[in-house]
Amino acid sequence: MTVDPIVDTRTGPVLQMRADRIVAALDTFRAAFPGVRPFYATKCNTHPGVLRTLHDAGSGFEVASFQEIETLTGAGVRAEDLIFSNPVRAREQTARAAAAGVHRFSVDSVEELHRVAEEAPGSRVYARLISGGQDSVVPSEGKFGVDATGAVRLLLEARELGLVPYGITFHMGSQMLDPAALQQPLRDVAGIMDRLLRAGVRLEMVDIGGGFPAAYDEPVPPLAAFGRVAAAGLADLPYPVEVFAEPGRCLVAEAGTFRCRVIGVAERPSGWWAHTNLGVFHGLMEVLESGGHLHYPIHDTRGTRLRRCYHLTGPTCDSQDTFARDVLLSADLREGDELLIGSAGAYTSVYASRFNGFPPPRVIMI
C-alpha cells in the first residue's frame, strides 16, 4: 500500500487542519456574538494556512509579539486589523509595532502606560481587568490585570500622557465552561465606564477577550449561551461602544486532528502502555497545563471490536510525556498502527519542541 508522503506518519506526527471547519467555527462565533468583532488570538495556532483562512474570512488578529505582527503582515493582514493585547512588552516590541502601524495596546500597569507613551505616542490604550478565571480548564493563574479602580486610574492617566483612553479588556481564562463567567467582568466594565464618564472620558471599545470553549471528549455549552450573557451585559453598559473579542481555541481546536504512530506497546505492572511518536513535548503540552483535565478524543485505525485500556505516552524518556490514561483502544494494538487525536488544532503545534531529538509535528491544511 502506498502512503501519501504528506500524511505519512513514519517520519513524524502530522497535524491536519481543516480550513472549512475553521470558517464554520468563525461563522458560529459571529452568529453567537452578533455585532462583536473577532480578533483571533494568533498564539493558538500560527500556521500560515490557518492565518490566511481566518484573514480571508474577515477575522482580525490579537497579537502578543512583534514577531506575530511580522508573520501576519507578511500574510497580507493590515495593521488596522491587529490589536496588541499582551499587557507588558519589551520597549522595542511596542516601538516596532507602532512603526508597523499598530495603534492599540493593552496595559495593566502605570509603568507600561509610560512606556507606551514614550514608544508609541498618541496611540490607543485599553486597560486589562483582572478576572476570576479560576474555574476554566486551562486557567490564566491571575498573571494579568488591574481592579476597577486601577483601570479608572490608568485610563485617566493615559489622557494626561497624550494617549487615547480607548477601552477595557478582560480574559476569563481558557476553555471556560460557564457562560456566567462573562457577567461580573461586564458589570465591572459598566462601573468603570460610569466613573470615567463623570471625569469626562468616554471610551470607544470593550474587548470581552477569549476563553470560549471547544468540544474535546465531552460536549461543552454552545457559544450562543456565552453570546446571550455577553449581549445582556453589553446592553447594560452606560453608552454604546465597539465590541471586540479575542477567540482562539474555539475557532481552531476542532478543525485539527493529529495523526501519530504507535512505535511500541508494553505490558507493565501499571497496565498496558502504547508509546507513540507524539507526546506532551511534541504537541500535547496542554495535558500538563490543565493538570490532566483536558481529554482529547482518541481513536486507533485498527478498529478491533475487542477493547483494552491503554496508557498513552510519547516517544521520549521523560515520564511527564504521558498524555492520556485508561483509553479504550483495539485490544491487539501494535507497532505501526495509527492513532487519531481529535480537537487538536489549538495550543498544540505551537508548543512542540525537538526534545530528545524527535521531530515536532508537520502541520498541513486540507
Ligand X SMILES: *Cc1c(COP(=O)(O)O)cnc(C)c1O
- Under the rule (CB under 6 A), what is the footprint of ligand X? 41, 43-44, 62, 85, 171, 174, 209-212, 246-249
Closer residue to ligand X (CB): 16 or 85: 85
Nearer to ligand X, 248 or 283 (CB): 248
In the complex with ligand X, the residue whose CB is nearer, 15 or 44, is: 44
List the grid coordinates of 279: 507526546
Nearest to 260 by CA among 203, 193, 335: 335
Helix (H) or strand (E) holding 286, with range, is helix 286-289
Q: Which is nearer to ligand X, 185 or 315 (CB)?
A: 185
Nearest approach, Cβ of 62 to ligand X (angstroms)? Answer: 6
User: Minimum distance from CB of 289 to ligand X (Å)?
Assistant: 12
Nearer to ligand X, 85 or 330 (CB): 85
Q: Rounded to the nearest whole angstrom, what is the least distance from the CB of residue 225 to ligand X in the complex? A: 16
Grid cell of 221 as nine digits: 455549552
List phi, psi (to 5°) of 136.
-80, 160
Element containing residue 37 per DSSP (H, E): strand 36-41
Q: How many CA atoms, within 13 angstroms, populate the side-chain half-sphere of residue 160?
A: 10
Using alpha carbons, select from 343, 173, 359 the residue that is nearest to residue 281. 359
Closest distance of CB 182 from ligand X, Å: 13
CB of 133 to ligand X, least distance (A): 10
Query: Residue 317, exposed/middle/buried by CB under 10 A (0-12, 13-18, 19+)?
Result: exposed
The least distance separating ligand X from the CB of residue 247, rounded to whole angstroms, comes to 5
Q: Which is nearer to ligand X, 327 or 352 (CB)?
A: 352
Question: Concatenated DSSP letters for 94-124?
Answer: HHHHHHTT--EEEE-SHHHHHHHHHHSTT-E
Using only C-alpha atoms, the chain has a radius of gyration, in whole angstroms, of 22
Closest-by-Cβ residue to ligand X is 248
* Residue 286 CA, distance from chain mean position: 11
